[in-house]
Structures are given as C-alpha cells and as structure tokens.
Structure 1
Amino acid sequence: MNRRSAARLVLAGLTLSLALGCNPAAAEESTLRIGYQRSSALISLLREDATLETALKPLGVTVSWHEFTSGLPIMEALNVGRIDVSADVADTVPVFAQAANAKITYIAQEAASPEAQAILVPGDSPLKTVADLKGRKVAVTKGAGSHYLLLAALKAEGLPFKSINPAYLTPADGRSALSGGSVDAWVAWDPFLSAAQIQAGARILRDGTGLSAYKRYYLASDAYAEKRADVLTLLVTKLREAGTWVKANPDAAAARLGALWKIEPEIVKQANARRSYRVEPVSRAGLAEQQTIADAFRAEGLLPRAVDASALPVWELPSR
C-alpha cells in the first residue's frame, strides 16, 4: 500500500460523511450531546455521578452520552451534527479532522502530559536507546499521538521513519505483539502504558519528554460553540473541577476509574500520576505543536493536504 492510499484509509470515515453532505437537523437545544471514549477520564467521572446534569438543570438542559471507539469517529459525528461536544481526544485527532474540512472548534485542553505516552520494549530486551530501533519492528497505532511520538523520537536520533518496520496495530494487539515477541517495541499511551509495565514488566525506552507535549483537546461543533456559550462555560467549569479532584485524591480517583474501566486501581493510579488533568483554555500560540504534528504527518503521506493548525476556531470562556 502506498502512502497516498494509507492517507485515504486514515481519513475514510470523515471524508465519506463530508462527501455525502450529511447534515442532520440539530437536536433540540435542551439536550447537550457528548461524544466520548471509554478512556475519557474526566467525562467518565462527570457521567458517573451526574455532576454535569445537575449543573445544567437550571438552564433546562439535559445530557445524552454517546460512546465511540476512537477519536476520529467522534470528529465525524461532531462535524455532521450527531453530537455537540467531544470529550478529550489526542492531539493528532483534530489535525486529521481539519484535513477533512470538519467544522469544529477548540473549547479547552488538558495541559501537556509528555510522560503519559512512551516507546516500550520487553523488560529483558537488549535495546537501550531509540537509535537501537533501526531495522526493528515497532508496533504503533496509525494516526494516534503515539505515532507522532515515534516520528519525533526517530527524528531526534537522525533516523527517518523508513529506518524501522512499522506494525500498525490497535493498543490491545500492540501489547499482545510485544508480549508474544512478534515486535521489538511498542508505542503506547496510558493506561495501556502503565498496564504493560505493571502486568508484563515492560520497560520504557523513551517517553515523550522533550519530544511530544501530548495535550488532549475538547472540541465542539462550530454551530454549538456559537450558540451555547452558557452550556460550554458550565461544562468547562465542571471539567476543571473534576481534574482538580483527580489530582488531589489519587486513591479515590483510581478506585472510581478502575471500577468504570475494569482495570486494577494500581494501574489507574500510575497512569493518572502521568496525566496533568489540568483543564485550561486553548490559545492560538499554544497550537504550535499541532502545526508540527500536521507537517510531520503530511511529510509521511498521512494527510491529503497541508493544514494550518491555527485556522480552527478557538472558543473563549466568557469573562465575568
């Protein structure tokens, strides 16, 4: 498969919906429709204890929750009007959505968490540095933040991506491949990263420090961001409160999220320690790494066109 074909596959879900011109009628404004992934920590906590519903009740707004398997389908649903807001997605996801002309707005971000993703090798691996990956088989999830980390790590060693043999796998398959010896390394993010360390004795070859900030972004459809500043203000406020609570109560947070995710609290606690969970505004200046990611993926043939990462709208929390 050539690089152009790979790019088309990565963007298939988004571009198909755009080509069809799908734009279902917007839901009643009395319902906030949130798209999330199982690993969306702060949204998961708000959903579990109905904190957000309680906050929105005086506005006459209810919440409907829509689970997705990954970030790109969330962006597709956001673009075509099936949901209003997305929970946190990795930094690479808005770049792909923008390349597919999605009508989305940044509303908040979780501050940098570079240690929350890393290149892993088996505990007894002879590999000691990223340079040792040359000629080796490396598992990575195509288009994920971990994919950019791998690109950046190789570049820092003066190695092109073609110097390794990539195996494009889901996180679950990547871990199995590493444990089974069919790949030499695996690029993972938390909580998969912590699970592999604690349960399988995997060793970190290099994390994202100095290579990839690994911010996570919350987005809304352009239309919703323009109309419902009141709802978004409450949502961002509650996300901030949830993030502060997680960091202040590591054991309780690990217990709650572990129960939701069916993961041992020990794993969740380690993963949470690496995540900032600091919800803050998005600034155009702060999107510089988004541009670096877009340029790197474009150079590898993963994006069908150049992207100006600063061109997406940025919602601002109204001043009081």
Structure 2
Amino acid sequence: MKIGVHPMNLHLRLAQLWPGAFGGMEVEFVAYPEGRDTGRLIDQRRFAVGGTGSTPPLISQSEGLPVIYLAASAPRPANGALLVAADSSLTKLSELKDKRVALIDGSFHTYLLARSLEQAGLGLADVERCEMSPQDSRTALSKGDVDVWIAMAPMIDQTIASGETRLLSLCGSTIPNRSVFWTLRGADATSEELEGFVAGLIDLGRAVSADPERAVALLAGKEANAEARAAWKGVITGRDWTVVPASASLVAEQQEEADVLHAHGDFKAPLKIESFRAAVGAA
C-alpha cells in the first residue's frame, strides 16, 4: 500500500523514519510537498492514504471527492496560534477587522481563524487572508507586510522566545486541531490494508510516547545542533501522540467544522460527513 507523506504531518514523517512501523505490512511512502493536495493525489492513485489537518478532507469533499475517515490524532491545543509582532498595537481579536492575516489557507489555519474571529463577532470576510508559507509569513510579519501570522510549533515558541512575536490567541480550546488520516472510496487499498494502516499508527503513537528521545533524533537528523534538537524535543513532548480509529465523535467534529466554514462562505453547499466504518458498512 502506498502512503502519502508531506512535511507538515509528523505522524507519517515519523512512520517513514521509524524502523518497523506498520509491522510486516508492505508499504511504500510517497513524498509530496503540500497537504492540501492529498485528496487530488489519492484520486489520481499516486497513493492510497494520507494524513492532514482537519480542513483538507472537507475541501476535497466539497469538490466532489468521496472522503472516508480512517483515524485521528489526539487534539493538539498548542500547535496553532495567532501571533503578532512584538511591537504590534493589536491586543485583542476584536481589533482584527480589515487586518492582513498570513496563513496556509485551506489548512486547519482557516478553521482556527474562523473560530477565533467568531469570538469577537467577526467573520472570515472581515479580514484579508494572505496565503504564505510559514517562513514567508514570519518574514512578512517582521516587515509589517501582514498584521497577524497563524503559526505552528516549533515556530510559535521560537519566535516568542526570540522577542520577534507576541501571542494574540493560542489554539487551545478554540478548535480540536487534530491530524486526521483519510482516503477516498475506491482508492487502491484493501480493507485489510486500511485496518493495518490504522493499527500501525496506533502502535507508532505508543512507541513515540514511550521513547520520545528516539523520535527527536529521527526528526532532527544527525547533523542537528543542540538548539534544533531542543526545539524538536519541545514539539515531541508537547503533544499527545495517541491515535484512535475514526468514530462518531470525529465525524461530529468534522461536521461542525464543515458547518462553520459553510456559514463563513468558504463552502457553497453544506456537507454531510461519513466515517470509515459507516462507509465500509454501506459498501
């Protein structure tokens, strides 16, 4: 079975590096640069399964692709934040009207922004979304080209510690911010392979929790300096690596996000979300 791996999904990056991940199952890891392309690449049969934030599968479904959820990580409350420059005059979400926000639009950033704006009585239409990579976002914020940056670990802690940025709002309880693992109906994988994929992710999560130093070494690489290793250690130890099979609660979370993004105008039509088990049972 072919598994898609992009740089932003640490579970699958670790699975690719971790000896014995997925047991004796025959797998091939296919690298690709952009998680938002996951649905399209599964549809093209480049690979059978992938992992992203919560928003890309919703976008794929809105484009007519038959998304099936397989599993999800535990929530990641510290992996997303709205940052402003250290000397910014912005101090609260209600001041974001007509401001420029740097983000990876169509990732979980979009949902985090929508929910954050709702807290201040605003909507996505009240800000200007600026599509940028994390590094470009960091540069744009430092130059004053944008007012807010939606950042992820480890850059949240790094830039706050360096005095570059200041926290406006942490992901926290705003959204669950899980990784979700998914496929499409008709993808090139058997039910047994999909079950093995989920079981392997569950086992990997347990292994990382039991040996975080090994995960740090694999992700940081042999040439990493002490600062880089410390940053990766913060990422590894700062999240719950538990993975659980898709369930009614995951479906409900995805449905809530779909409804929110539809209400904000990002989806033209409402979506109905299905889980892997429900889809298999109906096949």
Question: TM class, shorter-chain normalised?
Answer: 0.7 to 0.9
Match of 2:16 in 1: 47
**Match for residue 172 of structure 1 among 135, 138, 143:** 135
Letter in 2 for 1:44: R
Structure 1 residue 266 corresponds to structure 2 residue 230: yes
Equivalent in the alignment of 1:72: 36
What 5-or-longer segments of structure 1 have no aligned partner?
1-31, 57-61
Higher helix proportion (structure 1 or 2)? 1
Aligned counterpart for 1:299 among listed residues 234, 239, 263: 263
Q: Matched residues, percent identical?
A: 24
- Offset, 1:101: 1.9
1:110 corresponds to which residue?
73
| Distance 1:287-1:53 versus aligned 2 partners, 3 A rule | closer
Quote the Cα distance in structure 2 between the aligned partners of 1:219 and 1:246.
21
RMSD: 2.7
Could you tell me how far apart the structure 1 residues matched to 2:6 and 2:222 are? Answer: 12
**Matched AA of 1:298:** H
Instruction: Identify the match of residue 236 of structure 1 among 192, 198, 205.
Output: 198
Q: Distance in 2 between matches of 1:244 and 1:120?
A: 32
Contact 1:194 1:271 in 2 (8 A): no
Classify the secondary structure of the residue corresponding to 1:55.
Answer: coil
CA contact 2:76–2:176 (8 Å) conserved in 1:
yes
Structure 1 ranges of 4+ moved more than 4 A: 260-263
- Pick closer, same or farther for the CA change 1:273–1:131 going to 2, 3 Å: farther
State whether residues 36 and 74 of structure 1, in contact with CA within 8 Å, keep that contact through their aligned partners in structure 2.
no
2:116 is the counterpart of 1:153? yes
Structure 1 CA distance for aligned equivalents of residues 153 and 192 of structure 2: 32
Match of 1:246 in 2: 208
Distance 1:308 1:54, change over 3 A: closer
Q: Distance in 2 between matches of 1:252 and 1:304?
A: 45
Shift of 1:316: 9.7
Alpha-carbon separation, structure 1, partners of 2:18 and 2:186: 28
Deviations 1:32-55 (A, max 9, x none): 111110232222222224413652
TM-score after normalising by structure 2: 0.86
Q: For 1:167-316, list aligned pairs within 5 A.
A: 167-199=130-162, 201-224=164-187, 228-259=190-221, 264-309=228-273, 311-314=274-277
When residues 272 and 99 of structure 1 are mapped into structure 2, their CA distance, relative to the original with a 3 A threshold, is same
Alpha-carbon separation, structure 2, partners of 1:84 and 1:139: 31
**What is the CA–CA distance in structure 2 between the aligned matches of 1:142 and 1:84, rounded to whole Å?**
24
Contact 2:117–2:124, Cα closer than 8 Å, also in 1: yes
Q: Give me the whole-angstrom Cα distance separating, in 1, the residues matched to 2:76 and 2:215.
A: 18
2:62 to 83, 90, 99: 99
2:145 is paired with a residue whose SS is coil
Deviation of 1:228 after TM superposition, in Å, equals 2.5
Alpha-carbon distance in structure 2 between the residues aligned to 1:131 and 1:65: 44
- Cα distance in 1 for partners of 2:57, 2:247 equals 15
Distance 1:260 1:109 in 2: 30
Deviations 1:235-269 (A, max 9, x none): 22222222223233333322321228979122222
The aligned amino acid for 2:2 is R
